[in-house]
Amino acid sequence: MKICVHYMLHISSSIQNNGPCWATWQFPIERVCGMLLPLAKSRLHPYKNIINNIHTIE
């Protein structure tokens, strides 16, 4: 079974659990991730690096 067919089997239960697709849109969080990702320049401590860059911007 292809993955897209498998996903279609779960659409109805997903809508029942989460509501309509427009109510569970992922764009806002993906936009935030897209803004934070360039701030992580350190591979060793990416979270500390993001926090320091945010403090610098503010």
Domain that holds residue 33: 25-58
Count up the domains in the chain and report the number: 1
User: Tokens at residue 32, please?
Assistant: 């935030």
Q: How far apart are CA 18 and CA 16, in angstroms?
A: 6
Per-residue pLDDT at 48: 92
In a domain? residue 15:
no
**Phi, psi torsion values for 24, nearest 5 degrees:** -120, 35
In a domain? residue 7:
no
In a domain? residue 38:
yes
pLDDT in tens, 2-54: 778 888 888 888 888 888 877 777 788 888 889 888 888 888 998 999 899 88
In a domain? residue 19:
no
In a domain? residue 16:
no
Average pLDDT, the chain: 85
Per-residue pLDDT at 1: 62
In a domain? residue 54:
yes
